[in-house]
Structure 1
Amino acid sequence: MNKNRKGMEVEEDEEGEEEGGGKELEAWERAYADDRSWEALQEDESGILHLDKKHQQLQQRQYRRRLQAVVASHIQRGLIRYLYIILDFSRAAGEKDFKPNRMVVVTNCVEAFVREFFDQNPLSHLGIIIIRNGIAHRLTDLSGSPESHIKALANNLECSGDSSLQNALDLAHGYLTQIPSYGHREVLILYSALSTCDPGDVMDTIRKCKDAKMRCSVVGLSAEIYICKHLCEETGGVYSVALDESHFKDLLLEHAPPPPAIAEFAVASLVKMGFPQRGAEGVISICACHKEVKIGGGYTCPRCKARVCELPTECHICGLTLVSSPHLARSYHHLFPVAPFEEVIGRTAPNQRLPRTCFGCQQFLPNPGSKVGVRLACPRCKKHFCFDCDIYIHESLHNCPGCESSPTITSS
């Protein structure tokens, strides 16, 4: 009897080890799924590599969700934004649950976000604040140059000490209260820590931010924190927690398009703008923004004739907002966005002939329901497009080629 019991115990232990090993293997596969990205590729009959059906559907769902959040009609949006990104570079940013650590992942995603932000908001300004050793300091001023922010961030990769949410909000509040009244004041916090070490009452700071009409949003990298959620609820922001690196990047890019203006703060006003001319090459002048002597290039303020290096910006001498006409044209699509394309599942009529090629790139389109890809149709002009053209039209072109080429739709 004892031998049998021992034998049964040994068998049960082996089964338990097998189950435990299976669970550990599944957990390992989930954790390292992004490292084995080659498994998502398949080769078709012509030798072209493409994503398998599962990853295609996942990519399309993420894109559709982001598109539906952006495309909304009859919503007033703040096109002139003044945004401060607050990065938590405390010791919690050195955790390795995000590979290689949270700080590196945040830096890479912020670089992509900065470029996307200025592509979506050419009239806006952005600055970076870093929390380290319980102290918040401004890394870059509010400006419209993405390269200056990316370069400054790449030279300050260090995490240490505690995190202080109150110090960061106080610093951002001090700078954002100085901007013009027509600008939309926003704060985006990328928070890694599970606590905050504050010198005073953080609730008073939150009320101060609310009174200053600052929209504060938080993207957490660890877990949900009450004080961050309370901050977002009081100021009208969005609070979310990232599950992994790809999810964190998606959550971050959702803040790139201009958000709907808060009803009580959506006050329409006229903004004085100047359209400076490009300076002649070879002319020596003093730059008003950097206080340096430069040769050629730059722009001349039409009011005070001061020179600035880049647009958009505010003249450092007379305070006039300086923009170019392409900046205004690129901001126009937020007011009248392109409607989301609909997936073509089959023929709407029995004798209907579906087009074989994409209206945009003239590449062959898959049949409805095919595993290779999807075909989409514009709800207005009924032209068919591939998935790549759909992304290009909604994220870069902001005009449907089928609607623009149709005289009846264009005239209406």
Structure 2
Amino acid sequence: MNNGDGKRLNGEAEEEDEDDLDGEGREAWERTYTDERSWESLQEDESGLLCPVDDKILHHAQYRRRLRSLSSTTTASRIQKGLIRYLYIVIDLSKAAAEMDFKPSRMAVVAKHVEAFVREFFDQNPLSQISLVTIKDGVAHCLTDLGGSPESHVKALMGKLESSGDSSLQNALDLVHGYLTQIPSYGHREVLILYSALSTCDPGDIMHTIQKCKNAKIRCSVIGLSAEIFICKHICQETGGLYSIALDESHFKELILEHAPPPPAIAEFAIASLIKMGFPQRAAENVISICVCHKEAKGGGYTCPRCKARVCELPAECRICGLTLVSSPHLARSYHHLFPIMPFEDVAPTQHKLPKTCFGCQQSLLSSVLMQEVELPSLLPALNADDASALIAIFIFMKACITAQAVRA
């Protein structure tokens, strides 16, 4: 009996050892880091460049971009987008954020890509503002106020990365609703929720809160890091937002960066309206004064043209008189959202003839004294598309140089 039991136990131990090894002979702890060996998923193509072995993710991203481009070309209408956006980023820091299905944890992955998103957001929306809200222990906390400084948001977020308790969507929406209702009508009110939990601990009726957000024209979008939840999908459907689930870290990065470009403007708020803005001047670095944003004595900054108060960065809102302070480059970079250009049409290089006149001034690009016209159609059939387009570009550049010399003479 004992010998039989001993053999059986030894047999079970051998089976467990075999289960710990996969088909390639790796240990269980080795399989954890297999996906992180990114250098092993590279190969060299015919031209000597490195490319990933598995192109499914790249093909999927290209397919989604191609669908968006096709939808934009099929619709001939020009969509007006939001110029000034007020975005609240709600980050779930409950105990579900400490799960390690995203390496090293969901909380670390979210913080990493929120930092990249904040910088990309201000690059594409110079006149917009962002605020960070965290959810943990069933309470929503406003981490940063609305502002246009990416450094202050990133610094505040990295100092509060602690997860505990449960999450509450209703408390977060109530907090955001109280702030966004004070935003003027020309501002676009948006909420982006990065949700890790599978449930919500609400003190009241969340359906009433969702209806208040819908009436206030607040666009709520949710990116989930776990499974699909009905209440999150219902929030996005009622408020006109987007709901998506991240499959892995790269997919999460792609989903969050899709919210950086400005969304289409709401029809009733897309009418022309006048907004008071101030263009402050840069103060001298050796002049020390107290800034109204940090209430500290600093040098430099910008002086409000209305009340002469000092602010550190632009764009900002003066805490004394409430005037919106921007710079001319910020306004110029945001102007293309009001009047977007029509989508371009692809033209084959062989079908595009060499222009004889300038598109801007309609002056002739040919000079009978300095050059003779070169017939290109006889050369194009013997060349492929890339060589033909390169040859056309060279001749256009040569003609432009000769024309410039003639004008200078």
Which letter maps to 1:39?
E
User: Secondary structure of the residue that 1:156 maps to in structure 2?
Assistant: coil
Partners of 1:213 and 1:265 within 8 A in 2: no
Query: When the two structures are superposed, what TM-score results if normalisation uses the length of structure 2?
Result: 0.74
| 1:35 alignment partner, SS class | coil
- 2:198 aligns with 194
Q: What SS is found at the alignment partner of 2:152?
A: helix
Amino acid at match of 2:202: D
Q: What's the secondary structure of 2:262's corresponding residue?
A: coil
Seen in structure 2, the aligned counterparts of structure 1 residues 357 and 33 have a Cα distance that, compared at 3 Å, is farther
Is 2:327 the partner of 1:312? no
Quickly say closer, same or farther: Cα 1:309–1:358, change in 2 above 3 A.
Answer: farther
CA distance in 2, matches of 1:357, 1:115: 40
Which runs of structure 2 are paired with 1:47-196 in the superposition (5 Å)?
A: 49-52=49-52, 54-55=54-55, 58-59=57-58, 61-62=60-61, 65-66=64-65, 69=68, 72=72, 74-196=78-200
Measure how far apart 1:88 and its partner are: 0.5
Name the CA distance, whole Å, in 2 between partners of 1:343 and 1:63: 21
* Cα distance in 2 for residues equivalent to 1:178 and 1:49: 54
Q: Map Cα deviations across residues 255-301 of structure 1 (whole Å, 9 max, x no partner).
A: 00001123344343221111111111211222121222212x11111
Letter of the aligned partner of 1:183 in structure 2?
A: G
Classify 1:264/1:120 alpha carbon distance in 2 versus 1 (closer, same or farther; 3 Å): same
Structure 1 pair 34/80, CA: closer, same or farther in 2 (3 Å)? farther
* Alpha-carbon contact 1:67-1:340 (below 8 Å) kept: no
Give the Cα separation in 2 of the matches to 1:302 and 1:210: 37
User: Residue deviations 1:107-161, cap 9 Å, x none?
Assistant: 1110111111011100000000000100000000100000001011111111110
Select which of 256, 259, 263 maps to 1:255: 259
The 5 A counterparts of 1:256-275 are: 256-275=260-279
**1:323 corresponds to:** 326
AA at the equivalent of 2:58: Q
Change (3 A) 1:338 1:150: farther
For residue 63 of structure 1, report the CA deviation from its aligned partner.
5.2
The 8 Å contact of residues 45 and 51 in structure 2, kept in 1 or not, is answered as no
Distance 1:326 1:31, change over 3 A: farther
Structure 2 unaligned spans of 5+: 1-14, 352-379, 395-400, 402-409
1:128–1:139 CA contact under 8 A, matched in 2: yes
Q: 1:45–1:195: structure 2 CA closer, same or farther, 3 Å change rule? A: closer
Q: CA contact under 8 A between 1:98 and 1:105: conserved in structure 2?
A: yes
Residues 236 and 262 in structure 1, CA contact (< 8 A), matched pair in contact too: no
**Contact 1:240–1:251 (CA<8 Å) still a contact in 2?**
yes
Work out whether 1:240 is the aligned partner of 2:244.
yes
Cα gap change, 1:317 to 1:112, in 2 (>3 Å): same
2:340 is aligned to 336
> Identity, % of aligned pairs?
68
RMSD of the TM alignment (CA)? Answer: 3.6
More displaced stretch, 213-222 vs 70-79: 70-79
Which runs of 5 or more structure 1 residues have no equivalent in the other structure? 1-13, 360-381, 385-404, 406-412
Deviation track 1:174-214 (CA, whole Å, cap 9, x = no partner) reads: 11111222110100000111110000000010011111110
Q: TM-score, normalised by structure 1?
A: 0.74
Q: Check whether the contact 1:41–1:49 (CA below 8 A) recurs between aligned residues.
A: no
CA distance, structure 1, for counterparts of residue 191 and residue 165 of structure 2: 22
Classify 1:61/1:342 alpha carbon distance in 2 versus 1 (closer, same or farther; 3 Å): farther
Please name the residue that 1:394 is paired with. Answer: none
Counterpart contact for 1:85–1:127, Cα < 8 Å: yes
Amino acid of the structure 1 residue aligned with 2:174: D
